[in-house]
Every structure is written in structure tokens, then in C-alpha cells.
Amino acid sequence: MKLRCLWLMAVAVLSLGLCAESAGARTLRIVSYNIDSEDRGSDGNITNAMHSLPTVVQAIGLHHLGTNAQPVDVMSCEELNPLTLSNFVFQLNLIYGTGTYAYDKTTDPNTGGGPDGIIYRTNTVQVVTARAMLTGQNVLLQPNGTTYLAASSPGGGSNGVTRAPMVYQLRPVGYSSNADFYLYVSHARSTSDDTVGDARYAEAQAVRSDAKYKLPARAHILYGGDWNLFNGSGENAYKCLTGQITSDGINWSDNSSVWANTNQTQGFDPMSKTTPPTTVTWANVSGDNANYLYADSTASLGSRIDMQLPNALMFAAYNRQGGVQLAPDTADPYDLSNFPASQYPYAFETFGNDGSTTLGGSPTSATNHSLDDLASTTPNAATVYTDLLETGTGSPTTFVGSDHYPIFGDYSVVIVSPVLGSPVVQTNKLQFTVTGAAGNNYAVEVSTNLATSNWVSALTNQSPFTFKDTNTVPQRFYRARALP
């Protein structure tokens, strides 16, 4: 009789596990921002009396994507002076409190156009590793992980990568390495490239091959920065990053024979209208009929050159195993035009541009309603529009804004709830399986009753695994929970 009672109790509790209590998810707000400080030879847009860029970053934290508004957690920056990151962090900590933000001190060897770097919120994100990649033409990493060959240059360009991309391994605070993601920060060649963008294409080959042969097989990857895609989505750099066939006939999809493995490293466009996401077509011309795509320039809106391209594992539509993933966006009640949900289903946008600004317009245009949710905040929308617009570049005391708008997305740290199954009772002992995200840690807890204070950890292991209870007791309850 006791055996039957144990069996019934085990089945009842396992059924609760199968119904799954949902695991909580933290959200990270990740920004990419070319701040134009090096180009202007000044950090005045950070340090002068206007403090325009710190004000913009504060406003990004107040702005709603869907119904979520939160401070920035990670911000990649391009066109830096030697003290730019330090100055920026100092100003942000005046707003948010000492120690709230820090910057990674890994040296970026770039000189022309200034180095790249990241700022991060210390209680939500930690930097695990950081490194600079190679420059030059020989940047196409081979399967052995050490040999580099010349990048393809269909236009005949031979200078290759001129500004070394940075790679950051980041981990949400309080989580294990299973939640790590990798952020590539690029500032690709600008107008000095040839007409087909060979240098930008070389940089795309560099970061894709680096991701293929240096990162773990199930790495969550985000390609970000200022890619200077002046020719739009037809550029080989964009096609390489997003796994398409380039003008030289190379197929850069993850399953292509050009690669020695099928690791998921190709990027997908967060402004794609489809689920699952694919790519976007634009040409930086009025015929695009998609002003909301653009983030350049603040003086005269007209092109999309800044990118965040997550790989497949960073979209739930491609990956049900959790980790850091771009949040969905189905409705935007704080935006008059229901943007960005009215255009695409992901929590991502150009800050200060919801498409209501006309081509050639600026953030301060009367038609711009992208920040209506900041009408009564501090800073308010009018202040932020002014601080976005680059002006006064001739003097550090008057320098305001940047020529780029920032772009940003909300990324959820998804922990997959465990499923308990296949219960078996043999000689008064119970065993069952625990299945969750492959490789993630789960704890099995036991109790003689359902009081919340009586649960005791019995086993912690990586999914999937089988739990066997060797204790002989008349009654016991079981549950499993995901560990960060």
C-alpha cells in the first residue's frame, strides 16, 4: 500500500513539473552608437555644459520598446578619443550613481577614425574576455583556428581591414556561462573604400570566420557597429554577414561548403518583417519608402549604415534552448504609429527615428513623434531631440550630439524551464528524467510536504539527466528548477 501511495504522489508532483512554472527572464538593453568624438577631435559632446550624449543615453533608458523601459546595459561606441570612454562613464555615473557604469579597458589598436569600445552596467553585465582582431588583407581565418588567408576582393581592392574589430565575451550578472554572448564591434572602412566596398567585405569575412572557428559551437553572437554600408543591402559585407551569395559567387550561409562546420554564425536582421527573421532590402534612396531603417545622419536623414545583426541562436524562432535572445515586440502603445511593431515584430529600433521624420530631416523636425513617451520625463523629448542633432562641432564648448543616431534592442536572458518525465518505481524507489536546455544546470529538490520552507536540494546536474531517489520513505514530493 505504501508503494502505491508513493507512486501516486510522484506522478502528481511530476505532472506539476510537466505543466512547468515559467522561469523568469532578465532583459538587457544593448546600444550601438557612433559618437563622432574622434572625428571632431573633442569629447565636448560628453563633457561640456550640455552633456548631450550622456543625456541621450539616459533618455534611451526612459524610452519604451513595447511596454519596457530600462537603463542601458551595454553600449558599443565607435570613433573614440583616448579619454572618451572614461569621460562618458564619469558623466553617466553622475546621473546613476558611483560605480553604476564601467568601461572595458582592453586596448583597441585603431588609429584612423579612432578606436572602438564598450560601456556596461556593472550590476547587470560582466566582461569575460575581450580582444582586438587583425587588420590587413589576410584576415580570413581557416578551420585550424590559426592560419589566415587573403579575403576575397571582387572589386580589386587590396587594403583589407583597416580598423581592427573588437570582440567581447559578455555574461549577464548572476548567470552561468550558458548565458554568455559575444559582441563584435566594427567601424568598417568609409568613403576611402572602393566603389564595391571590398574593405567592408573583407571585414565581414574576418568576423564571420572568427566566429566560425574561434567561438564555441552554440555561441550567441551579435555583430554590431558602424558598417558604413553606403550601397545598402546589396553590399557584399551585408550579404556575407547575413549568409547570402556575394558578387564573387561565394555562398556564406552557415551550411555552405565554404565552411568546415555548420556552427550558426550568420546574422539575421532585427528589422526583418518576417518570423523567423531573414534580411532587409534597402538602398539608401527615397525609393526605400522606409525612413525608419535609417540612423544617419542626424543633420540629414538618409542612410542605414549602423548594424546589430544577431545570429540564429539569439532569436526564439530559431532556438528554443534559451540564452540571450532578442525580445519580440507585438505592440507599442507609447508610440502614436505603434512603432516598431507596425513594421517588424522585434524589440529593436533607431532611437529618435520611428519613420515620422522625412528624408533629409533632422531629429528636431516638427514631424518627428518618435519620443512622444518622453514628453514629461527628465530629460524630455524636446531636449533629447536637440541633443541628438550634431551641431557646434567647431569648438569643444559648443559640440553637441553626433552625426549618427544610436540603435538599440532589448534582449531577454531566457532560461528554459525543466520538464520532468518517465517516472519509474522499483522496490520502493523512484527515478525520473529531467530535460531542459541542453547543457544548462538544473536542481532537483525534494520534500516530505508542500510547505515552501521544506524543500531540500537533492541533485544538481546538466540537462538531460536521470534522477534516482535511493531513499525509502512512505511519501516524498519532487520538483526541479532552472539555475542561472
pLDDT in tens, 291-337: 999 999 999 999 999 999 999 999 999 999 999 999 999 999 999 99
Q: How far apart are CA 299 and CA 150, in angstroms?
A: 38
Could you give the residue range(s) of every CATH 2.60.40 domain in the chain?
2-22+418-482
Fold (CATH) for 26-414: Deoxyribonuclease I; Chain A (3.60.10)
Contact 188, 163 (CB under 8 A): yes
Length of the chain: 484
Under 8 Å CB-to-CB from 98, ≥6 apart: which residues? Answer: none
Phi, psi dihedral angles at 452 (to 5 degrees): -65, -25
* Residue 451, pLDDT score: 78
pTM of the model: 0.91
* Residue 348, pLDDT score: 98
pLDDT in tens, 110-129: 877 889 999 999 999 999 99
Tally of CB atoms within 10 A around 59: 24
SS3 86: helix
Helix locations, 20-150, DSSP H: 37-40, 44-47, 52-62, 84-96
For residue 157 the three cell numbers come to 581592392
Q: How far apart are CA 389 and CA 2, in angstroms?
A: 75
pLDDT at 142 over 90: yes
If you search the block for the grid coordinates 526612459, which residue do you land on? 62
CATH of 2-22+418-482, one of 2.40.230, 3.10.450, 2.60.40, 1.10.357: 2.60.40
pLDDT in tens, 5-39: 333 334 334 333 333 333 456 999 999 999 999 99
Q: What is the mean pLDDT of the chain?
A: 92
Q: How far is CA 368 from CA 146, 352, 404, in A?
A: 50, 8, 16
* Residue 24, pLDDT score: 53
Under 8 Å CB-to-CB from 374, ≥6 apart: which residues? Answer: 59, 62, 63, 380, 381, 384
Under 8 Å CB-to-CB from 365, ≥6 apart: which residues? Answer: 357, 358
H/E element, 421: strand 419-426
pLDDT at 459 over 80: yes
If you average pLDDT over residues 392-407, what whole number do you get? 97
Could you give the residue range(s) of every CATH 3.60.10.10 domain in the chain?
26-414
